[in-house]
Amino acid sequence: MPLLFIDLYFTCFQKLIIMCLCGGDDCDPSKTAVRSYSAAILARILVMNTNYVAQLTSEPSLLPPLQAAGFPVEENILFCLVDIWLEKIDNMTSLQRKTVGLALSIILSLRLPQVLDKLDQILSVCTSVIVGGSDDFSEEESRYNGHMSICFLEVQVVDLVSGFVCSPFSNVV
């Protein structure tokens, strides 16, 4: 891929991060919508390519624009995104909620110690997405998909609790 496109993609990613993390006043419904949509897009990117998001969120050139927008440097970008996903989940469409649920389940699989601090919230969101996200299926399909999703989530939690291993985000922490 030509360098120009890589730079353009990184610039777009950078703008999404800034809109999501430094989006301004949550009392303004339009700003809340922009932050929610930005968060959902970032969740989709994480679902599609976890390693790429790990690389981009640890990029040193991402920090100066975030600092200029008022983001504290000592904060971990990935976990700030997790906070935004958890905070904005109620402002998202059903499809966006499902995408964020997938992204959060990927975060569970990373086995990072910081995930344990947010485990209750992440499991709550994932469970609500599983239970409430089956409106497109028949009752029988919903039961099957819900059961499979809960089994997947249980495996993620068991893996998380049983021990931590190296992950793509281990150098970001």
Q: What is the largest CA-CA distance in the chain?
A: 52
Residues 101, 123 contacting (CB under 8 angstroms):
no
- Alpha-carbon separation of residue 166 from 42, 45, 111, 124 (angstroms): 23, 21, 8, 25
pLDDT of residue 2: 61
Higher pLDDT, 171 or 111: 111
Higher pLDDT, 6 or 155: 6
Residue with the two structure tokens 């499902």: 98
Mean pLDDT highest for which of 1-5, 34-38, 133-137, 168-172? 34-38
User: Considering the entire predicted model, what is its pTM?
Assistant: 0.72
pLDDT digits (tens, 9 = 90+) for 112-123: 888 888 899 999
pLDDT digits (tens, 9 = 90+) for 71-100: 887 778 888 899 999 999 988 999 999 999
**58 backbone dihedrals φ, ψ, rounded to 5°:** -100, 5
